[in-house]
Amino acid sequence: MRNLCLAVISLSLVVLLCEPLHAYQFLCGGYTITGTSGNCPVGSVDQDNQCGCSVNTAPVWPNSAINFKAEYQGGNGISANTFVQAVESAALQWSNVSCSSMLTAYGGTLNATSSARWGNHENITSEQGVFFVKSQSEWIEVTGSGAGSTLGVTVSPYNGWNCNNREIADTDILFNGFISGGWDYASVQGTILHEMGHSIGLGHPCLTTNSNCNNSCTAVMAATGAAFSIPQQDDVNALCALYPGTSGGLGSYCDGNWDCTSGPCITFEGFT
């Protein structure tokens, strides 16, 4: 059985201070997952303390492409169509970063469910889902704990114990559809944009408890970043450091037409 590392990051209704010179972070801390209902076995941490968390050691998508599918479900002031539109918009914004090879695409809808699939649930690793969770009981069933003030949470299993060869294998996003006070489109889109950043491999920047620091973090990936509808400069810097280049161009890797900005994805067997 192959071991995978699990990076779980959430966005909550909290206010955090940031160090003025502190920049972006990547996802590096993780746990092995076994394919059972226990996503985070105690004591199975990866080599993060040894590897560190630089751009050279952070886990990445090997093909620089993610195809997100949105659960066709809504509630709490948001229709299913609006939720799908927010997912589509968020995916487009990350792909619009011109200095990065990362391509995030909207790949259609998933049937509504009362039991969201998260991580390697039922060993589904080819489905990058964004799920609208409608109840606390569903949230607890999937994650093992209550949502509290969490707006969304992302799981991105990655494999590879070699510090220089860690690859993200899957990602799924849970959206808190039952948050007190309800939702509007801008908040939904901003929250999903933040969580997709985690799916890509970006962490929370600017985190500190320094009482002398009163600068706010102008970044989608900040813990208070749901207010932004497009990646900010720190987010752009992070994405382009982790996935330098341009996305979807002629000759780049593709799994389908959604991967390509230059035309259709074709199977190439080479010349004889």
Write down the pTM of the prediction. 0.78
Q: Over 90: is that where the pLDDT of 135 sits? A: yes
The residue to which tokens 């979807």 are assigned: 248
Q: What is the pLDDT of residue 157?
A: 78
Taking residue 208's Cβ as centre, other Cβ atoms within 10 Å add up to 14
Residue showing tokens 């993780």: 30
Strand pairing class (103-110; 167-168): unpaired
Q: In the predicted model, what is the mean pLDDT of residues 68-96?
A: 96
Residue-level pLDDT at 248: 58
Is a pLDDT exceeding 90 seen at residue 26? no
pLDDT at 55: 84
For all residues of the chain together, what is the average pLDDT?
A: 75
pLDDT of the residue at 24: 78
Which of 26-40, 156-170, 206-220 reaches the highest mean pLDDT? 156-170
The pLDDT tens digits of the residues spanning 193-243 come to 999 999 999 988 755 444 443 345 688 988 766 689 999 988 999 999 999
